[in-house]
Amino acid sequence: MSALVQFTRRYRFSASHRLHAPGMSNEQNAEVYGKCNNRFGHGHNYAVEITVAGPVDAETGFVVDMVQMDAFARREIVDRFDETHLNADPVFMGDCVPSTENLAYEIERVFKAEMPKLDATGRLRLTRVRIEETGNNSFELMCDEPQKQSRAAL
């Protein structure tokens, strides 16, 4: 098998959220989440990077069809989350706190389900989801890590 090449694409959306764990008291939530527990929520301009890896197609010279990947990301990630309150998303309406870490898990789940449509050979794989929440905060989910813990609540 030839060497794998990684390809990263960046997508942007704006959304708000409130960090609040239903299993904790209001006082505990205020202590743990501070200003991020504001009952009205607060917003971010998220930048999401999706990295896939695979062999270079001999005919196209590409790892992945970027047009297909962009259409999927636009439909399933950007359109879904842009200008929304994450707490209202079905995944985050229950006990799952809409932290950026949990958002990374949800984006991983959505993209992994799409991999067969992006690559009929089955050799393309999702390797990383990176989300920049602010200029100071970014989160990386390494998708191929065997010891990775899955989120319990999602």
- Domain ranges for the chain, please list them: 5-13+45-142
Q: Encoding tokens for residue 27?
A: 């006082």
Q: Encoding tokens for residue 142?
A: 């390494």
pLDDT at 2: 66
How long a stretch of residues is the chain?
154
Give the CB-side neighbour count of residue 149, counting CA atoms within 13 A: 5
Positions of the chain with pLDDT lower than 50, given as ranges: 1, 147-148, 153
- Read off the pLDDT of residues 67-110 as tens digits, 9 standing for 90 and up: 999 999 999 999 999 999 999 999 999 899 999 999 999 999 99
Domain 5-13+45-142 belongs to what topology? Tetrahydropterin Synthase; Chain A (3.30.479)
**DSSP 8-state secondary structure symbol assigned to residue 89:** S
